Amino acid sequence: MTDARGVGARRIAMMLFGVYVSMLAALTGLGLFFLAGVHGAGQWGWFALATSGAIIGAVWSVRSSSGEAASHASEESRPIVAHSEPLVGSLASKEPPTSEDRSESDEVDYLMALRHEFRTPLNAVLGFSDVLLSGIDGEVNDSQREDLEIIRASGIRLRILLDSALDLSQLAGGELRLDAERADIRELVARVAAEAGQLWSNKRCADCTLPEQSCTHEVDEARLRRSILVLADFLATDHRDASIALSLLVTDDHLAIEVTADPSDQLSLGSLPTPAEVLASEDAAEIRRWPLAVTSEVIARHDGSLYHGDAPSRFLIRLPLDGAR
């Protein structure tokens, strides 16, 4: 158990390293742009390449550390089946929590604290990017605006990857909890359409078709919003010349959120990845599929279904309404 805790500590340290390297790169970029006057395309290209390499290296280190932690956990004397049903066993037997149960609970709480600590500087980067883009601190020219939009888009992508990595860690331990509350799904989809334009540096936008009436439903608003954004970005990346559209349809027993790339005549991927598949993979390219794997699990935790079709390529989220569960 001591070895597993040591590996977990190294994994957390690598997570911290990766996020703070990314934050430092973003702040350095702002400093180079506004203070040092570095505006040349070649110089920015080298800076972006070095930053991307540092981020990918840090994330890959986290992935490797996670694999090492999993291998240590598999050597524990406790059978694997016990991991899959920790809550059912404790509730049925009413036995006091063991030291291992307390350790897992402490790790989840610590990950929640890390999520907060990571997002604080990241939100500052995104917030000040918006401030500069708004012109409050002075007008920016077209070239400066384009660079700021790229910084903001990179920050949004980093936030998605960070949240997905932490959710994957909780899924691996069977400890992912939804923060469900009543939310207006109509407003949520509209916010995703607006944020998608920021994610694509405002070079593309997502069309949005919504019903006239509001639609309130009990969901984990932050995770559902991120899930829809992940699906829209996945289609936009695979179909660069297609128009991305979001729509919300409400029936008597369910609501349907569709994300479409048109024109497109082929599937973006053969099958939806699962958290187990991406965690077991040793391919660094699987990092891109982390958010998609978390998305499929988040929809399932809402008692919903996620479908993927073609002609045109699209994703369809179906969530049962309260009376239809």
210-235 pLDDT tens trace:
999 889 999 999 999 999 999 999 99
Residue 167 in this model has a pLDDT that exceeds 70 = yes
Q: What is the pLDDT of residues 75-87, one digit of tens each?
A: 443 332 333 333 3
Domain identity same for 163 and 201: no
CA distances from 50 to 32, 60, 65, 256 (A): 14, 15, 23, 42
* 241 in a structural domain: yes
Are both 167 and 197 inside the same structural domain?
no
175 dihedral zone (left: phi>0; alpha: psi -120 to 50; beta): alpha
Query: Does 221 fall in a domain?
Result: yes
In one-letter notation, the amino acid at residue 103 is S
Tokens of 248: 């919300």
Which of 116, 139, 172 marks a domain boundary? 172
Give the CB-side neighbour count of residue 96, counting CA atoms within 13 A.
1
- Highest-scoring range by mean pLDDT, 7-16, 60-69, 168-177, 194-203: 194-203
**Binning pLDDT at 50, 70 and 90, where does residue 196 land?**
very high
Instruction: Output DSSP code: residue 38.
Output: -
Lowest mean pLDDT among 104-108, 238-242, 296-300, 302-306: 104-108
- Any domain includes 252: yes
Looking at per-residue confidence, does 317 or 6 come out higher? 317
Q: How confident is the model at residue 306 (pLDDT cuts 50, 70, 90)?
A: very high
User: Distance between CA atoms of 150 and 76, rounded to whole angstroms?
Assistant: 46
Token duo for residue 132 = 């500069």
CA–CA distance from 203 to each of 130, 149, 200, 206 (Å)? Answer: 16, 10, 6, 11
In a domain, 199, yes or no: yes
pLDDT digits (tens, 9 = 90+) for 14-69: 555 666 666 666 666 666 555 555 556 566 566 666 666 665 665 555 455 545 44
User: Under a CB-based contact definition with an 8 Å cutoff, are residues 158 and 122 in contact?
Assistant: yes
Residues 207 and 156 in one domain: no
Residue 177, in any domain of the structure: no
154 lies in the same domain as 192: no
Q: From 172, 203, 223, give the residue that closes a domain.
A: 172
Q: Count the domains in the chain.
A: 2
What gap in Å lies between CA 325 and CA 321, rounded to an integer?
7
pLDDT at 94: 43
Distance (Å, rounded) from C-alpha 194 to C-alpha 174? 33
User: 196 is in which domain, residue-wise?
Assistant: 182-324
Average pLDDT over residues 286-293: 83
Domain's final residue, options 146, 172, 198: 172
pLDDT given at position 183? 94
CATH of the domain at 242: 3.30.565.10
Q: Which residue has better confidence, 166 or 44?
A: 166
Chain centre to alpha carbon of residue 268: 18
Together in a domain, 197 and 95: no
- Asked whether residue 102 is domain-assigned, the answer is yes
> Higher model confidence: residue 34 or residue 137?
137
- 143 and 195 both lie in a single domain: no
User: Whose CA is closest to 192, among 235, 162, 151?
Assistant: 235
Q: Does residue 270 share a domain with residue 146?
A: no
Query: Is 132 in the same domain as 205?
Result: no
State how far Cα 279 lies from the chain centre. 15
Between these two residues, 201 and 250, which has the higher pLDDT value?
A: 250
Mean per-residue pLDDT over the chain, rounded: 76
The H-assigned helical ranges of 35-141 are 41-74, 81-84, 86-93, 99-134
| Residues 319 and 288 placed together within one structural domain of the fold | yes
Biggest distance spanned by C-alpha atoms of the chain: 67
Residue 301 has pLDDT above 80, yes or no: yes
Confidence at residue 77, expressed as pLDDT on a 0 to 100 scale = 36
Q: Is the pLDDT of residue 243 over 70?
A: yes
Rounded percentage of the chain residues whose pLDDT exceeds 90 = 28
The answer to whether 257 and 247 have CB atoms below 8 angstroms apart is: yes
Assess if residue 309 is contained within a domain: yes
Residues 164 and 202 in one domain: no
CB proximity list for 287: less than 8 A, separation 6 or greater = 56, 59, 60, 63, 161
Residues 87 and 110 in one domain: yes
- Confidence at residue 120, expressed as pLDDT on a 0 to 100 scale: 79
Q: Say whether both 17 and 150 belong to one domain.
A: yes
Confidence of residue 289 (pLDDT cuts 50, 70, 90): confident
Q: How many Cβ atoms are within 10 Å of 105's Cβ, its own excluded? A: 14
Least confident of 15-29, 133-147, 179-193: 15-29
